[in-house]
């Protein structure tokens, strides 16, 4: 796929990632639906249920496949796939198809659909579409508003965080959704995220980092920190983080600095561990960029990010169990900590 020494996005990697995503965002099968049947008429196929996000094995992977393509198009507009991406988006983001996705959410049994992982990714996609000089974001906005409302309805009654390294992670979903709140200038949504995360996480100290479990693609520990980094004032976050991982500059807890081993990339759950390596690299780079000048952890964090990238970047493609989603997480890691216009 690429050289293990690669640690930042290049035009060549962008083209390779775009080719991968174009190969799966409209691939309907195989498909793992998150779908509750209310009656026999609900036994329908992915494209019928989801006019836009029917590919990529599952709905949320299709959403972030579109995010990947939109991000690559903005950052590397000269890639050979640029025309194909624009044509795909012009076909996908129409009023009728967006209305179809919104209608699916109105089903009584769709109340918990993709909560919270898909919610966060859908809003992350919308934040990216807003950065393009195209009608896509305006057309897609009703779906984004529907998912923003889901956060507004759910978070006030969510008494506890979900501290996992998989799709149920509340920290991951809110970190992504905050990008949308910031792009929209939605102060009320940002305040909701901030107040809830303060209540959930601010008292945490000396994280033990008992990870990874055998099918995680997120670091529960680092994801909590990255979520708070996005929400708290810089000085407050720095003080909290120093207490949360007080021995990080000495590479402790060691689990956070050791890339995960992936024993079988054809197993969809075990393949999650490549995603863990990418998400740790992403978090370490973002956290390092927020550290005070001269903090010794910065160099340790960057070295750790490179080690995790080297472990999994050669395996973004090869088996569909990873290929339908891993490039998105690799892109997060490759671009983390940058200031991109």
Using one digit for the tens of pLDDT, what is the confidence trace for 12-26? Answer: 999 999 999 999 999
- What are 241-289's pLDDT values in tens digits? 999 999 999 999 999 999 999 999 999 999 999 999 999 999 999 999 9
Q: For 33-77, how does the pLDDT look when each residue is reduced to its tens digit (9 = 90+)?
A: 999 999 999 999 999 999 999 999 999 999 999 999 999 999 999
Confidence band (pLDDT; 50, 70, 90) for 340?
Answer: very low
Range 311-314, long-range pairs (CB < 8 A, 24+ positions): 311/4, 311/259, 311/260, 311/274, 311/277, 312/259, 312/262, 312/274, 312/275, 312/277, 312/278, 313/1, 313/2, 313/4, 313/6, 314/1, 314/2, 314/3, 314/4
Rounded to whole angstroms, how far apart are CA atoms 89 and 305? 32
Backbone angles phi, psi at 156, to 5 degrees: -60, -25
> What are the pLDDT digits (tens) for 171-194?
999 999 999 999 999 999 999 999
Mean pLDDT for all residues in the chain: 96
For residue range 144-177, list pLDDT tens digits in order.
Answer: 999 999 999 999 999 999 999 999 999 999 999 9
CB–CB of 16/67 below 8 Å?
A: no
**What Cα–Cα distance (Å) separates residue 254 from each residue in 159, 207, 269, 330?**
31, 12, 23, 22
Task: Look at residue 1 and tell me whether its pLDDT is greater than 80.
Answer: no
Looking at residue 341, its pLDDT comes to 35
pLDDT of residue 31: 98
Q: What is the pLDDT of residue 279?
A: 98
Please check the confidence at residue 3 and state whether its pLDDT lies above 50: no
> Which of 184, 120, 125, 179 has the alpha carbon at shortest distance from 154?
120
């Amino acid at each position: 796929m690429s050289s293990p020494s690669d640690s930042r996005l290049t035009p060549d990697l962008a083209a390779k990632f775009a080719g991968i995503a174009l190969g799966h965002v409209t691939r309907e099968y195989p498909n793992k639906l998150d779908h509750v049947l209310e009656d026999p008429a609900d036994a329908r196929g992915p494209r019928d249920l989801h006019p836009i996000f029917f590919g990529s094995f599952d709905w949320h992977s299709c959403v972030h496949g579109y995010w990947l393509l939109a991000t690559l198009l903005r950052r590397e507009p000269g890639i050979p796939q640029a025309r194909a991406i624009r044509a795909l988006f012009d076909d996908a983001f129409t009023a009728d198809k967006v209305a179809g996705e919104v209608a699916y959410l109105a089903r009584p049994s769709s109340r918990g659909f993709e909560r919270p992982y898909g919610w966060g990714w859908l809003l992350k996609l919308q934040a990216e579409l807003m950065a393009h000089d195209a009608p896509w974001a305006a057309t897609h906005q009703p779906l984004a508003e529907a998912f923003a409302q889901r956060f507004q309805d759910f978070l006030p009654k969510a008494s506890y965080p979900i501290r996992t390294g998989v799709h149920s992670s509340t920290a991951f979903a809110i970190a992504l959704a905050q990008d949308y709140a910031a792009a929209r200038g939605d102060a009320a949504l940002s305040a909701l995220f901030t107040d809830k995360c303060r209540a959930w996480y601010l008292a945490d100290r000396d994280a033990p980092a008992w990870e990874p479990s055998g099918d995680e693609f997120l670091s529960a520990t680092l994801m909590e920190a990255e979520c708070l980094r996005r929400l708290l004032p810089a000085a407050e976050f720095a003080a909290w983080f120093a207490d949360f991982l007080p021995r990080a500059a000495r590479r402790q807890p060691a689990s956070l600095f050791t890339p995960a081993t992936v024993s079988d990339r054809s197993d969809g759950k075990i393949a999650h561990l490549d995603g863990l390596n990418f998400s740790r690299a992403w978090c370490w780079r973002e956290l390092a960029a927020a550290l005070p000048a001269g903090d010794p952890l910065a160099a340790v964090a960057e070295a750790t990010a490179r080690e995790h990238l080297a472990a999994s970047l050669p395996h973004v493609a090869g088996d569909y169990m990873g290929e339908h989603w891993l490039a998105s997480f690799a892109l997060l890691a490759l671009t983390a900590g940058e200031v991109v216009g």
